[in-house]
């Protein structure tokens, strides 16, 4: 564990966004993070791992081209998705990963803006049956995310409660370039908070805090730019121990974030990385 990681959030960083559990969500405003999904090499094993770790339930949705997209649920509400990485993805070197989705009014227009701002559209825009339209984009610093234009399905039905996503954070090799890109494409306002030699940037839409952004420090090693998904839990030490018992790894020890909670970076048995946080 490094002091850099434990100082990631200033005391008031996520308030009021994460201070209290949020009620059921029916819509997601443009610019908000609206969905997460897991691409994995072993869906059956991943489902067992997360069911035991986080109490997740699943509903299988057969896809027209074959296979299935698994809806992740908790107490009857959708909180994300899970699917098997295709042979083509594996051949291209795509590892098991969690993907963050940003709500947009138009997947096509957002993709065009992203390309003009220096990004690569990795996949799409494309319709997902009648539920929405999406695209997968790699920003100019190398981090991959998706955009979601809702139709029949708006996204997560709950956020901020134990077992659901509560924050999305970009760790990037070029914070200045990332801030310009996400501001130009999505209209985020950037709110910098200095923490000694480092800074944490809030991505804001008016009064709403939508996510965080931070420069990858040299002491973190050869970490690529990436979006990190944070899952709320009620017991961080218990979550770390259970992750290990179930075949996963704790990449960091548990760390306190004054006024926000206690978190750790974890890895599931297939290799996908996520963070768990017990909110204050």
For the domain made up of 33-150, give the CATH fold. Answer: 2,3-Dihydroxybiphenyl 1,2-Dioxygenase; domain 1 (3.10.180)
**Pairing between strand 273-279 and 226-232?**
parallel
Residue ranges, comma separated, of all CATH 3.10.180.10 domains in the chain are: 3-19+163-279, 33-150
Chain centroid offset of residue 139 CA? 15
Tell me the pTM.
Answer: 0.90
Residue 188 DSSP symbol: P
What's the CATH code, domain 3-19+163-279? 3.10.180.10
* Separation of first and last alpha carbons in the chain: 21
- Going 210 to 157 to 82 to 133, the CA torsion angle's sign is negative
Give the residues across from 57 on adjacent strands. 73
Residue-level pLDDT, tens digit, the chain, 280 residues: 233 334 444 434 443 344 444 457 778 999 999 999 999 999 999 999 999 999 999 999 887 777 789 999 998 899 999 999 999 999 999 999 999 999 999 999 999 999 999 999 999 899 998 999 999 999 999 999 999 999 999 999 999 999 999 999 999 999 999 999 999 999 999 999 876 677 899 999 998 999 999 999 888 888 999 999 999 999 999 999 999 999 999 999 999 887 889 999 999 999 999 999 999 8
Tokens of 135: 């695209």
Rounded-to-integer distance, Cα 201 and Cα 215, Å? 9
Residues 6 or more apart whose Cβ sits within 8 Å of residue 138:
119, 120, 122, 144
């Amino acid at each position: 564990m490094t002091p850099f990681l434990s100082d990631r959030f200033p005391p008031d960083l996520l308030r009021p966004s994460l201070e209290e559990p949020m009620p059921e969500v029916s819509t997601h405003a443009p610019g908000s993070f609206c969905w997460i999904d897991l691409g994995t090499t072993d869906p059956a094993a991943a489902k067992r791992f997360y069911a035991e770790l986080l109490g997740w339930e699943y509903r299988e949705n057969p896809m027209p081209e074959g296979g299935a997209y698994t809806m992740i649920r908790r107490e009857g509400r959708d909180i994300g998705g899970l699917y098997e990485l295709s042979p083509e993805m594996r051949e291209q070197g795509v590892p098991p990963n969690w993907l963050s989705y940003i709500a947009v009014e138009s997947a096509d227009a957002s993709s065009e803006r992203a390309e003009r701002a220096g990004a690569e559209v990795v996949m799409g825009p494309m319709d997902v049956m009648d539920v929405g339209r999406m695209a997968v984009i790699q920003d100019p610093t190398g981090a991959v995310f998706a955009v979601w234009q809702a139709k029949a399905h708006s996204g997560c039905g709950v956020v901020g409660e134990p077992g659901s996503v509560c924050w999305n954070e970009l760790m990037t090799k070029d914070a200045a370039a990332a801030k310009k890109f996400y501001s130009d494409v999505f209209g985020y306002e950037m709110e910098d908070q200095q923490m000694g030699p480092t800074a944490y940037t809030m991505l804001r839409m008016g009064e709403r805090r939508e996510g965080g952004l931070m420069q990858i420090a040299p002491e973190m090693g050869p970490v690529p730019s990436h979006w990190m998904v944070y899952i709320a839990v009620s017991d961080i030490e218990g979550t770390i121990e259970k992750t290990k018992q179930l075949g996963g790894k704790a990449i960091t020890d548990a760390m306190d974030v004054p006024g926000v909670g206690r978190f750790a970076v974890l890895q599931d048995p297939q290799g996908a990385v996520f963070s768990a946080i017990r909110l204050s």
